Every structure is written in structure tokens, then in C-alpha cells.
């Protein structure tokens, strides 16, 4: 199956910067691939004992295969991403940003309604008026056979990565 070949290649590309888990489950969300990245930055004054500031960035990538896809599948997947985001993101004083990237890989070429539903999706959440960071959800729909990639506005930042083989 070519679509699972795409997921395996994606796992290989992500493994450079991410910790990878296959067949990952969280409550009502089951996916084929989960990738997690955590980056911590700190600035010191003379020694590590005198920390000036620190901030952390997190990225979670959740990949799920759909043999065929409709608008209801998009709605169900985005609802599951929102629930997973509440569990995966824990804001604290050094939390700067968290990005959840939901990738839907499909064997069936998406129709116009499905593509429009993906493009319309938007989710942004600030924590403590932004003092404890923020969270965004990227939504990406990939049809590997035609190399077609449909994204929401936030997903355009990484669309090229998911289109390449």
C-alpha cells in the first residue's frame, strides 16, 4: 500500500528532529504515527547559576491514514486534535509555544468540500494572556499518489515538507 509507504518515509524524515511512536493512542484518538519535539533555550549571565531567561517550544505531529475522507471525518479528526491538545500542552512560566500538526493521509483524492473544510479550520489558544505562551493547530491533508497537499493557514508554513517524497 503506497500510503503506508508515505507514512514510513515521513517517519524517517521526522526522526531527525522528533521522537517517533507508531500506532499511538490517546483517549479517543488513534493514529498511525506520533512525533514529538521539545526545544529549550536559555540565556545565562556569566554562569549557568545566573539564568537570565528561558523558553520552551513544543511540536507534536499526529498522522492518521484514511482510506476515504469526507467532511465528517475532518470534523471528527479536528475535534480529536483539540482534545489531544488539552492533554499534550501544559503551559508554565517558560512555555513559549506549542504546535499540534494534524496530518491526514488519504488514498482517495479529496473533493472540493473536503479541501474547503481543511482550509477553513482555525485554532489558536493563548495561555494567561500570552504570558505562558500559546498553542496553534496546523491541519494538513495529503494525497500521496498525486502529491496534492491541502492545508489550513497555519499549515502553509510546512506544506512543502509534506509534499516532498
> How confident is the model at residue 1, as a pLDDT?
39
162 is a domain residue: no
Residue in 155, 154, 131, 157 with CA at minimum distance from that of residue 141: 155
21 is a domain residue: yes
Higher pLDDT, 53 or 151: 151
159 is a domain residue: no
163 is a domain residue: no
Q: Which three cell numbers stand for residue 67?
A: 482510506
27 is a domain residue: yes
161 is a domain residue: no
Print the domain residue range for 24. Answer: 2-154
Give, as one character, the DSSP assignment of residue 67: S
pTM of the model: 0.87
101 is a domain residue: yes
Residue in 4, 117, 9 with CA at minimum distance from that of residue 69: 117
Helix axes 112-120, 71-88, angle to 10 degrees: 30
95 is a domain residue: yes
Number of domains in the chain: 1
Q: Does residue 2 surpass a pLDDT of 60?
A: no
Non-local CB neighbours of 124 within 8 Å, separated by 6+ positions: 134, 135, 136, 137
Higher pLDDT, 96 or 79: 79
Amino acid at each position: 500500500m503506497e500510503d503506508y509507504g508515505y507514512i514510513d518515509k515521513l517517519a524517517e524524515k521526522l526522526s531527525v528532529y522528533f521522537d517517533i511512536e507508531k500506532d499511538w493512542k490517546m483517549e479517543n484518538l488513534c493514529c498511525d504515527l506520533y512525533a514529538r519535539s521539545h526545544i529549550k533555550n536559555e540565556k545565562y549571565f556569566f554562569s549557568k547559576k545566573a539564568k537570565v531567561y528561558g523558553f520552551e517550544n513544543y511540536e507534536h505531529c499526529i498522522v492518521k491514514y484514511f482510506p476515504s475522507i469526507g467532511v465528517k471525518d475532518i470534523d471528527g479528526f479536528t475535534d480529536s486534535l483539540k482534545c489531544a491538545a488539552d492533554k499534550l500542552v501544559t503551559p508554565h512560566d517558560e512555555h513559549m509555544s506549542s504546535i499540534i500538526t494534524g496530518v491526514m493521509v488519504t488514498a482517495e483524492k479529496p473533493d472540493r468540500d473536503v479541501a474547503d473544510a481543511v482550509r477553513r479550520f482555525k485554532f489558536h489558544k493563548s495561555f494567561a494572556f500570552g504570558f505562558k505562551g500559546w498553542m496553534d493547530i496546523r491541519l494538513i491533508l495529503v494525497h500521496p499518489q498525486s502529491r496534492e497537499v491541502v492545508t489550513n493557514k497555519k499549515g502553509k508554513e510546512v506544506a512543502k515538507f509534506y509534499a516532498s517524497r
